[in-house]
Structure formats: structure tokens, C-alpha cells
Chains A and B, each alone.
Chain A
Amino acid sequence: MKNSIIKTVGALGLACALFILSSFVKEPEVSYKCMIQMTNYTGEKAYVVVSLINPDGTYEKTLYVQGDDKEWFPDLKNWWEFSDGTKENVDAISGATIGNGERNIISLGFNAAHIDAGYKVRFESAVENQEYYAVDAEIPLNSATIKEKVDGKGYIRYIRMVPNR
């Protein structure tokens, strides 16, 4: 009886220690350079949000927000539902909007464990008073194919990604 208590406590303690330790061990990060090239649509500058989608097809986290005026965030409906609901702080990962025909180059960081594990990077876009694209472009987080150019369906012409130097 005594033995089993010691065993249990020991196992729990070990689990705890492992858990606490694991938070100190930095998970390896992989960073990719990503280019968002816009089409020659007409209208205001586009709002684009880049999110990590888990294998279940739901939002995991926001990677980048292209758009600096929160007034228009709710226009990106699906993402806003997730982001507003989880009270994410996106200030640190947002940048200026870009106009039609322009391109934006950003750096995206991923947890190495998410690579080749069924995760995807989703690009959704909206323009003031125009259509909203829930999935403008989507790229599987697959190290073999990630360098391939992916065409967009909405305001994005294509997406290109290369590993960072």
C-alpha cells in the first residue's frame, strides 16, 4: 500500500518536473519568408490575415495581420470570430495594408512540430465594401511542397514561401 503511494507520488512528481522542465526547453522554430502578391483589383487596400490551421481544419493561431485599422477587422468574418473570441493580441503581428498590384514580404515563424503534421497556412482577405474571401489561398505546411507558388482566388494573385536564411 505504502509502496504504491510512493510510486504514485513519484510518478506524479516526475510528470510535474518533466512538465515544468519542458516549458523551459525552447521548441525549435522554423521561419519562412513569405511573399503575398496582390492582383490588380479596384478599390481600397486589402486586409489579409494569415493563420495557422490545425489538422482538424480549425484555427490554431494567427500568424500575421496585414491591416492596421481595427475598424475593419470584423470584415474578416471567420477569423474575427476566432481571434476576437480567444482575445489574441495581434498588435505585435500586424503590418500596413497594401494596395492592388503590390506585394508584401513577411516572415512567418512555425513550431517545428507543426511541419509535415497536417497543418496548413490560410490566407483570407477582405476589401472595404467588397467581397470577403474566407480562403483566398491555402498552403499545406509540407516541407517538400512549400516552395511551390500557390495561386489565390480573391485579391491575392499568388503566395510564395522560402525558408529564411
Chain B
Amino acid sequence: MIVSVWRYSHLLFAIISSIFLLIASITGVILAVEPISNKIEPYSVSGADELSLAETLENLNAKYEEILAISRDRNGFISVTAIVDGKNEAFYIDPFTGEKLGALLQKKPLFQFATNLHRSLFLKSTGRFLIGLASFLLVLIIISGIVLIAKRQGGFKQFFAPVVRENFSQYNHVVYARFSLIPLLVLAITGVYLSLLRFDVIPDTQVALQVDFDSIQEEPFKEYTEFDLFKTTPLSELRELEYPFSEFVEDYYIIRLKNKEVYLNQVTGDVLAEEKYPTVQVMSSWATVLHTGEGSILWSIVLGLGSLAIPFLTVTGFIVYFKRPKTKIKNTYNKNEGTYIVLVGTERGTTLQFAQEFHKQLLSAGKKSHLALMNQYTHFKKMEHLIVITATYGQGEAPASAEKFVQLVKKHPQKQAFDFCVVGFGSTAYPNFCQFAYEAYEVLGNLENSAALQDVFTVNDQSFEAFNNWSDAWSRKVGLNILLEKPKLAANSLPPSTFEVINKAEIPEDDTFLLSLKNLNGSIPISGDLLSVIPEEGARERLYSIGKLNAETLLISIRRHEQGLCSNYLHQLGQNEKLTATVVDNRNFHFPKNAKKTIFIATGTGIGPFLGMIEENSHKKEIHMYWGARTTNSFNLYKNYIDKALQDGKLTNFKTAYSRNQPEKIYVQHLIKQDKELFVEVLKKKGCIMICGSIAMQKEVLQELQQLCNEHLGKDLSHYQNRKQIKMDCY
């Protein structure tokens, strides 16, 4: 449960501190403007920093009768405090001429308000404590966040590797957290430091110089312009210079430089006392500058943006948390009653949903099914069939609910014989796809009384179709009839539209047909989007990839199944008949805008969306198409489209693999091997490979591409997938 500990502490600290952090970050953004607006005031005099203290004093003394102090702030502005007409005055000056440049900057009421809210929430010490605590929690949130990112990315080395996009909140939470990591860490740590300083946990040590008044000399007299310190110290080193209070020799110059404090005899120019600032004071000064951005426009901007990230991260973080499926396991049969044991390894709960659906259907088929987490593996007295459904975390590690599985399997041998199968959930966008499923398979296979029913079955990107395929295959093997219910597509679908059938082309021997549909109202899809068709009320929806020929005409290519409810429904539609269906956005399968070269790989009816993309390729970008089918005959349905595209230059190349034309079977994956130079080049030069067709073909093709990547590119296939150079739509 190591990941969970980090995750829960990340969440817990965020919940505790969220309100304070929101207040502090929003006021922080406002306060980031202050140093910028100060810095751009016109009080900076060029060349002033190179002026020596002697020259500065000479210039100023000539202009003012009684000066009390000269100081230089973090913006590099020089100011004097002087008595003018019997009154105290402080203002910025030009150190060359002594001329007054303007009154000292007053803190604007907005900034004063924001500062108070930022520091103490208007609650004085209580508020200061709360803000300090929130700051400390922010440090912890950041540390746990760093660990979580490292785990998710598969190690600290991959920390800045591209993030796999699951949804908006998850993706941007990670991406922006990485961007704002440094400023946030600096803000949080300096915030804690300043709080500790406030509450005297860190002692604020002062320089306490002692002057030996007995040994003060009154001669030899020296002009102040001849004092060594004044002559050798540039104005850039100065923080503050206080004039002697009176003309008595016991009163002296007090000079605070960047690194030390010096007392200077006003008559002889001797150093009366001198001390470097203690480390704490130097650190405090740094902490202040780093926290406030005072004196630096660039750093203020960085801090402001970092502050701005906090509300964003808070909101997306909570969305990620609340969107995470929280499904509780309920069982009708306990672990000793179940003959079917379904075990789940899940990190974020998504895999559990699939397992639950499967478990539910087993129960409704009248089977005694028991659902549990993989970490709950123990003696199952009546187990006959074990079904393990597991995700993989990070670099092929066990997910949170399966970390102890391997040990437990060894620790609890079963008394009776049983068969098992393993379904792996994962994303080929991560390296070591479904690694843990294979590991679980091996551990179970090594038991004496276990029998594997089938090989590890992998499901990519939570594809319901793939999971359904597995469920069909499995239930046939054990002699059951299990029908899974598809979870409702939550978002991204437009309201239903009406389409008119304008053409149907068919090859009966091949059981395939092409429907041209006219879009009668509204929703204009993009080639690669899906058309969701529900053939009759209550029936499960079917999805077909759309090829868009023009703004009005869509093409869907369909294989007719003997028992297929939907394909037969579509097949019986006549010319000009109307069809109601919904367009579903399928952003991950749109034609890449920026790729110079694109490769299409399809089998059978998978060619459908590509016909649309080719038709729309008016810029005549390079497209290479590989298509697999059973016989040459299958091609006749698409021949006109392909021939015309080749003629128009919208398609560069068309290669086919017919599996049944000749004695030895040829598949599309064999073509990849033949043309590997092209594939390597496309991947190298940021081109794109799009795959559409059956899941079986997808697996073979990915395997082939993986090998190609390993041998010729020295990178994992997931690297390219993460960069959206591999796009897939398989069923």
C-alpha cells in the first residue's frame, strides 16, 4: 500500500490546508504584482551603483544641511532621511546631484490588505500560526506529490517524460504541478522559515557591536572623503548609512553593508567596531527576497505564476479524487462458498468496475461467484475457477490492491484443483504493458494443482470490446453464456442526429457492405469519430468508425454478422431510409495535423475512417496505406475510392496483404517487416501510424512495431505512443 500512503497523505494535507492555501495563493498572486510595480518606478539612476560612498556623501552633503541617513533598497533606489526646514523628510534622490526624485513608495492599500490577509488572515498571531502551518503542509504536499509523479512516471529518471493523458484534470494536474514545482517549493519552504522566525523558533540574532569609548581618538583629523571605507566601498554594497547623531566624537557613523556592520569614528575615520552578519540574518534576508520577489521582476513573475498554480492544482486535484470510481465490494457468497473466485488488482478503481460487471453477470447466470481484491487471496474452499483481473502500475509493478498477491499465493496453497485465467488491464502507452498480469499468471501457473485455461489476455485502454471478447472466449471454455453490459459512455457524445441512407454497396460473399449516409441535421463529425447506433430500444449500442467524404456525406463500413443485431439492422436499411444515431467524439483517432508522413494500417472494414481521411487530404500529404483482407474480392468494395485517391495524389501508396489468396497466409504485420525502413523513418521524423481493425491484428502489429523500435530506434514503443505518433481504434 506504499503508493496509497503517499496518495492519502497528499490528499489529506490538501484537504486540511486547502482553504488557507487558496487564500494565501490568491493574495500571493496580488502581492507578486507589488515588487514589479515598485521596480518599474523611475527612481533608479544609472551608474549610481559604481559611485563610492565618499563621492555620494560629498554630493549629498553639498545639497542638504542635515542628513540623518542614506539607504539603498532592494530595487537599487537610493533614499535619504534629512531634516529640511526643521522637519523629518525621507525621499529618493539622485546620488550624483542630490536632487529629490520622489517621495518614498507608500504601500498601496490593496497591497497592505493583501499582505495582512496573506500573513495572518486578520487574526493576528492565530492567523500567522495557521498560515505557517499551511505552508508546512504545502511542503509535505509537494514532497508527496513528487513521489507520486515519480511512481506514476515509472521512476525519477522519467520524471519529466510526457504524461499519459487519461482525462483533463489528471493530465493537467501532473503537467502543471511539474511546471510550478520549483517556485512552489521555494515559496513553501521560505514561508515556513519566515513563520518560524516570527515565532522565535529560529532566533533572530542581531549584530551587537560594542564600542570601547575609552579608547576613542580625537586625532588625527581626516576629511570624511578620505576615509578608507568610504573611498573603497561602492554604493551597490550599501544597505544603510547613519550619520553621527551629534558632533561629539562619541557619536559615530553606523554603516550597514550587504555582509557586515561597521562603526566609523567621525573624526579620524578609524573603524571602531565591525562584525559580519550572522548566518541566520543572511538566511532570513534571502528567505525574504525569495519569498517576496522584492527587487526582481523576473522572479516576481515566476512566483506569481507559481502562486496561480495552487488554485488550479487544488481544483483539478479534487476533481481527480472525486472522479475516481469508488466501488465497494458486496458479496452474496463468502470466500468459502464461491466456486468462481474473481480477484481484482486495481490502483484507481477502474479495473474493479469491469470485474464487478463480470461478477454480476456470473451471479445472474446462477453461479456462486465471490469477488475480492488480490491482496485478499487465501484458502478458497470451494474454488473451481479463478479469474484474476489486474491492472499494472508504473513500471510493471503490482497495483495497490495486489501488492501482497505473489507472497499470498505461495503462502496459501489450495487443497483442491482449479483452473485459472488472467486478464491484464493496461495501456500500451506505458512501457511494460500489462507486466504484472504476466507475473501473476506465472505465479499461479507454478502451483501444483492449477491449470491455465488460456494465456494472459490483455485489455488496452479500458476497451470494453476487448474485455467482452475475453469474456466470450472464457465463457465458451467453461460452458457458460455470459453477456456483459456495456457501461454508458458518460461524455463527449452529441445529441442524436438523423441520417439518410444514400447508397449501399455490398459484397455478399464477403459479408461486408458500405453505407453512405447523408447528415440531415447538425453534428458534423471528423473522420475517425464514432457513430453510435442502437438498433432497437434497450439494445446495446454499437460503434462504427466514421469516414467523412464531405460536409454532408459520411461513410461507414460494416461487416455483417449472421446473428448481429446491429449489422443486420443496418443492412436492411433501404435507399433514402432514415437512421437515428449519435456521433461520439473520438479525439485520439483524428488525422494528425502536423505529421508530414502518415501510415494507415487496417484490416477489413477498418478501412472505413481512412477512406474519409484520404478524401480530405487536399494538401496531398504523404499517406501510405497497408490493408489486409481475406481475398482480392474483398477489395472491390473500396476499389473506386482507392484508385481515385491514388490518381489524385491524395494517397501515396497502397499495399495489400490477402490472407487466403495463396497457400501461405500473408497478414499486414508481414508487410511492416518488408517496409521497415519506411516505418522507422516515420517514427523518427515525428510522423504518425494509425491502426484500425480487429484487436487481434492490433496485437500483432504492435508486437511487430515494438520489435522495430527496439532494434532500430533504441526506444520503447510507448515512447512514440505517448507522443501520439501511434493512434489506434480497434474492436
Contacts and interface: CB of A to CB of B under 8 A. Distances in A.
A95 B69 CA distance: 14
Given A40-B206, A101-B206, A162-B246, A29 B124 contact: no
A155 B463 CA distance: 74
B323 interface: no
Contacts of A129: 124-125
A107 B87 contact: yes
B125 A107 contact: no
A35 interface: yes
A95 B90 contact: yes
Nearest to A70: B112
Interface in A74-131: 95, 99-101, 103, 105-107, 109, 128-129
Given A29-B86, A33-B245, A164 B66 contact: yes
A42 interface: yes
B446 interface: no
A65 to B, nearest CB: 12
B245 A107 contact: no
B454 interface: no
Contacts of A42: 200, 204
B233 interface: no
Interface string B264-277: 00000000000000
B245 A71 contact: no
B208 interface: yes
Given A69-B112, A105-B68, A129-B124, A40 B87 contact: no
Nearest to B87: A107
Contact of B83 (A40, A68, A128, A164): A164
Contacts of B208: 40, 101
A106 B88 contact: yes
A164 B246 contact: no
Nearest to A100: B206
Contacts of A100: 206
B498 interface: no
B242 interface: yes
Contacts of B112: 69
A64 B124 CA distance: 25
Nearest to A165: B66
Contacts, number: 51
B214 interface: no
B116 interface: yes
B124 A105 contact: no
Contacts of A162: 245-246
Nearest to A68: B107
Nearest to B115: A69
Contacts of B87: 31, 107, 109
B206 A107 contact: no
A99 B284 CA distance: 15
A153 interface: no
A160 interface: yes
B219 interface: no
Interface in B116-140: 116, 124-125
Contact of A105 (B69, B86, B125, B204): B69
Contacts of B107: 68
A128 B112 CA distance: 17
Nearest to B84: A107
A105 B206 contact: no
Nearest to A162: B246
A64 B88 CA distance: 10
Nearest to A110: B86
Interface in B95-124: 107, 112, 116, 124
A16 B478 CA distance: 120
A29 B83 CA distance: 14
Interface in A24-70: 29, 31, 33, 35, 40, 42-43, 64, 68-69
Contacts of B166: none
A42 B203 CA distance: 9
A31 B86 contact: yes
Interface string B77-88: 000010100111
5 contacts: A64-B88, A103-B242, A105-B69, A109-B87, A129-B125
Interface of A: 29, 31, 33, 35, 40, 42-43, 64, 68-69, 71, 95, 99-101, 103, 105-107, 109, 128-129, 160, 162, 164-165
5 smallest CB-CB distances across A and B, nearest first, come from A31-B86, A107-B83, A105-B68, A101-B206, A107-B88
Given A33-B83, A40-B206, 10 more contacts: A31-B83, A33-B68, A64-B88, A106-B88, A107-B83, A107-B88, A109-B86, A109-B87, A162-B245, A164-B83
